[in-house]
Amino acid sequence: MAERTTTRTIDQTDTPVFEHGSELVAGVVEWYRAEARDLPWRRPDATPWAVMVSEFMLQQTPVVRVLPVYEAWLERWPTPAALAAEPVGEAVRAWGRLGYPRRAQRLHAAATAVEEEFDGVVPSTYEDLWSLPGVGEYTAGAIASFAYQKRHIVLDTNVRRVLSRAVSGVEYPAPATTPGDRRIATALLPEAAADAAEWAAASMELGAVVCTARAPRCDDCPVAELCTWVATGKPPYDGPPRRGQTYEGTDRQARGRLLAVLRDTHGSVPREELEAAWTRDVVQRERALASLVDDGLVMVLDGERYALAH
């Protein structure tokens, strides 16, 4: 998904000059303190494990879908040790219909690593967090910031879109984090760790509810008067077509249908039940089933029966 405009991109070697960085940060933080959604992982009693669970679940999944699964998950597994003690298949089953079930598998693996390598305590350093299965650059920074109030840049899609528009005047950021993104984020990062963590949460919230991808609410934006994109007349995206996420008829949908059958059954199911779950394309179904086995999400028992991985 290549994204560019005729103005300037944020993956270039220089960092755009932005004279109002401190005002931008202060304006967004002030707005956040008044308007932030009350989410359980943001509350003072949220444990580092709770923050970690939320970060895994929120990847490519909206808050409204995450909330019920998150709450049930922490009630069942309030610590990494509790999750690590159960089979990975139970994590996949509890993941329900959040999508991308390998996240459940990786969260289980991360919980196991926390239990075995860090005495059951979610680590606080960026380096140790990044060493965990399923934790990358963004997730490590987010957990360190939100769980431990550490000073790190936190660059999810929402934050990168806010910085792209406000600082660079570009409607959409590049599809993946670039060196330019990191330079801009570092230049804006408050010096005090607690302030940096609050800025990370505030800029993320602004991108999620105001500076959205499809219909930005610029009239409601607390820093619209500082936004380069607004000041330059909101130049439209004119790069190659942006690929929207499709689901209907994809291998992802086929995998989801097959997993749904297995999640709803405690034990194994015969191949015939899986075949009935996806009849539109036999080759696609076999490919999806094979990929679930290869990913370690599903086991083959006695050749013709299948179950979630133990």
Q: What is the CATH number of the domain that holds 268?
A: 1.10.10.10
pLDDT of res. 74: 98
pLDDT of res. 17: 56
pLDDT of res. 5: 32
Residue 256 is assigned to a structural domain of this protein: yes
Neighbours of 143 (CB within 10 A): 28
Query: Quick one: tokens of 151?
Result: 């000073």
What is the rounded CA–CA span in Å between residue 79 and residue 86? 12
Residue 289 is assigned to a structural domain of this protein: yes
Residue 206 near residue 28 (C-beta atoms within 8 A): yes
Residue 299 is assigned to a structural domain of this protein: yes
254 CB-near residues (< 8 Å, 6+ apart): 278, 281, 284, 285, 287, 288
pLDDT of res. 302: 81
pLDDT of res. 245: 62
What is the rounded CA–CA span in Å between residue 155 and residue 142? 8
What is the rounded CA–CA span in Å between residue 266 and residue 58? 27
pLDDT of res. 2: 34
Residue 117 is assigned to a structural domain of this protein: no
Query: Largest Cα–Cα distance of the chain, in whole Å?
Result: 67
* Regions of the chain with pLDDT less than 70: 1-17, 238-245
Total residues found in the chain within this entry: 310
pLDDT of res. 195: 97
- Supply the DSSP symbol for 215: S
Residue 288 is assigned to a structural domain of this protein: yes
- Containing domain of residue 300, as a range? 251-308
The per-residue pLDDT for range 257-297, each reduced to its tens digit, is 888 898 888 888 898 888 888 888 889 899 988 988 988 88
What is the rounded CA–CA span in Å between residue 243 and residue 181? 21
pLDDT of res. 10: 38
Residue 155 is assigned to a structural domain of this protein: no
60 CB-near residues (< 8 Å, 6+ apart): 99, 100
Residue 48 near residue 92 (C-beta atoms within 8 A): no
Residue 296 is assigned to a structural domain of this protein: yes
Element (H, E) at 294: helix 282-294
Query: Quick one: tokens of 155?
Result: 């660059």
Taking the CA of residue 138 as centre, how many other CA atoms within 13 Å lie in the half-sphere pointing to its CB? 16
3-state DSSP assignment of residue 62: coil
pLDDT of res. 259: 86
Which residues, in sequence order, are bridge partners of residue 260?
A: none
Catalytic residue among 30, 55, 75, 273: 55
pLDDT of res. 237: 74
Its pTM stands at: 0.85
Q: What is the CA radius of gyration of the chain?
A: 21
Closest C-alpha among 240, 259, 256 to residue 248? 256
H helices of 19-122, in order, are 21-35, 48-57, 63-76, 80-84, 88-95, 102-117
pLDDT of res. 154: 96
What is the rounded CA–CA span in Å between residue 292 and residue 147? 33
3-state DSSP assignment of residue 295: coil
H helices of 88-237, in order, are 88-95, 102-117, 126-130, 137-148, 157-163, 179-188, 193-209, 228-231
Give me the number of domains the chain comprises.
1
CA 174 to chain centre: 16
Neighbours of 173 (CB within 10 A): 25
Residue 280 near residue 264 (C-beta atoms within 8 A): no
Residue 275 is assigned to a structural domain of this protein: yes
User: Quick check: is 55 catalytic?
Assistant: yes
